[in-house]
Structure 1
Amino acid sequence: MNVLVLPTTIFYLLASYVCISGLLNKQAGANKWLWLSAACGMALHGIWEFQHLFLAQGQDLSLFNVAALVSLLISLSVTVLAKPFKLWFILPVTYLFSIISIFLAVLIPSDYILHLELKPQVLIHICVALAAFTVLMIASLYALQMAYLDWTLKRHKPGAIHPALPSLMRIEKQLFTLIRLGFVLLSISLLSGFIFLNQFFAHGQAHKALFSLLAWVIYASLLWGQRYRGWRGKTVVVMTVSGSILLTLAYFGSRFVKEIIIGS
């Protein structure tokens, strides 16, 4: 097992412990030990990712390598947004996701070598697609936090009033900010894929385009419904999570079958 995996895991677990301890003590969880341990964990994660993505024979964009990269991007984004957006409840989840993705990449090795330096247009498409997926996955986690807060408020649970949780209206406003940003990135990703990828709708690739387009329709409908119909609450949560599930199937579904099931 790579020498970086254990210290990366330890730092992520330490950051999660500090965050959860702060939440249990009715604090926001923002202290130097949280930031320090999270920064160390993400730095080691980034070094590990660089070593496994950029090989002498090309870029290894295997399933779990990409999943580990996405988990790093999510952890980094949520950590940066934790204080202004009050994402303390989401932080431990993202760090756990990072740990799991790294262990899966180590325990279930596979390879998918590309030469992106020869196809910069494909690199642009992949970068935008990863950015869209990252933002919309964070929005999905945010929607689940909104659902939890709504549930506690309706049942008058003690956890509804917590200094680490923003108000329900603030969560909803920030959620739609994330969805709008993710929707724009997803639109650019689909457009770039249609322009730059010759086999975007070819056999074996069509399901990716189909699931991505279905997710795009869901997010477009959600933004329209929120603006013109005043959709809120459960409808918003269900549609946001449904869109993220479709994107996950689009990005990772076939790769899992080809690399892990058939490849094994």
Structure 2
Amino acid sequence: MLFSLTIFNTLTVVSALLYIIGACLIVVNLNSTEPTFKSQRQWVLISAILAIVIHTSLVAHSYSVNQIIANDLFSMLSLVFLVIGLLFIISAANQSIETLSIIIFPFSALAVLLNFNNASPPLPTSNLDGGLQAHIILSVLSYSLLTVAAFQSILLSLQEKQLHNRHPSRLINCLPPMQLMESLLFRTIFLGMLLLTFALASGFIFLDDIFAQHLVHKTFLSIIAWVLFAALLGGRYFFGWRGQKAVKWTYGGYFALMLAYFGSKFVLQMLLNQG
């Protein structure tokens, strides 16, 4: 699937607009004196599905250019938020989590727009065979799930603080019960941690030297993130960690992972102009 630059840019803008429309529908409903959640849910999901279908075609185009996963900074951001969007749609089919779109969709729109004019992503500087592409896919999936966990922890933190104040906002009232939010958070972290484990293991197997100079910081930070998330899950299981303590550990693990996945790529690609 290959698009001309004009079509690629047009679809980029349309996808971003649909993401923004989905988020705006939630905001409008929250500010309405007579919220209509059933109607709102339907239109949010429609806009999300349309945005994700177009977003998928853009990612497929980027793959088709070089017949390989585009691993430049903006293409990887786009892929991550496509996976997050898909996870959102799958989860929304079973649970009323539309409120999460207020945080997720603006970032998804930004990730799409950053690829404006990026219809021909650069060819990776190293040969990505099947094993390495599997490593990249596992990494993207784990990062996407743990990004969702970070978004969930933000809402959980706000929810807990406002419930303690006994004057929760309409946003907080629209969220699932705090116990369910917490359960969803740890379930997401567990799945993300499992995929991160496979991603690290595949890196040790398929990369020639996972501690090479250009990879050592990424490997080190990913291992730190793994340790932090493992400590969080252990604290939850053995000591019943919850609330703000769980939120802070989630922030710490995600920050390390964000530096590992995108911090090093930003420095190499944007500041040092290396592939």
- Gap runs ≥5 in structure 1: none
Is the contact made by 1:152 and 1:160 (CA closer than 8 Å) also made in structure 2?
no
Selected match of 2:220 from 210, 216, 222: 210
Selected match of 2:200 from 182, 187, 190: 190
CA distance 1:226–1:57, shift in 2 (3 Å): closer
CA distance 1:234–1:110, shift in 2 (3 Å): farther
Partner in structure 1 of residue 22 of structure 2:
15
Moved runs in structure 1, 4+ residues, more than 6 A? 107-110, 115-118
Partner in structure 2 of residue 176 of structure 1:
186
Code of the residue aligned with 2:85 in structure 1: it is S
Q: Secondary structure at the match of 1:113?
A: coil
Is the contact made by 2:59 and 2:78 (CA closer than 8 Å) also made in structure 1?
yes
**Worse-matched range after superposition: 58-67 or 235-244:** 58-67
Partner in structure 1 of residue 147 of structure 2:
137
The whole-number CA distance in structure 2 between the counterparts of 1:233 and 1:197 is 38
Is the contact made by 2:73 and 2:265 (CA closer than 8 Å) also made in structure 1?
yes
Partner in structure 1 of residue 251 of structure 2:
241
CA distance 1:161–1:56, shift in 2 (3 Å): closer
The whole-number CA distance in structure 2 between the counterparts of 1:164 and 1:47 is 32
Q: 1:134, CA displacement in angstroms? A: 0.8
Sequence identity percentage: 28
The whole-number CA distance in structure 2 between the counterparts of 1:253 and 1:170 is 32
Q: 1:123, CA displacement in angstroms? A: 1.4
Q: 1:57, CA displacement in angstroms? A: 6.8
Selected match of 1:251 from 257, 261, 268: 261
Selected match of 1:60 from 63, 67, 70: 70
- Gap runs ≥5 in structure 2: 1-5
Is the contact made by 1:110 and 1:260 (CA closer than 8 Å) also made in structure 2?
no
The whole-number CA distance in structure 2 between the counterparts of 1:56 and 1:174 is 38
Partner in structure 2 of residue 105 of structure 1:
115
Aligned residues: 264
> Normalization by structure 2: what TM-score?
0.87
Task: Report 1:55-94 matches (<5 A).
Answer: 55-56=65-66, 58-82=68-92, 84-94=94-104
The whole-number CA distance in structure 2 between the counterparts of 1:108 and 1:150 is 41
CA distance 1:40–1:108, shift in 2 (3 Å): closer
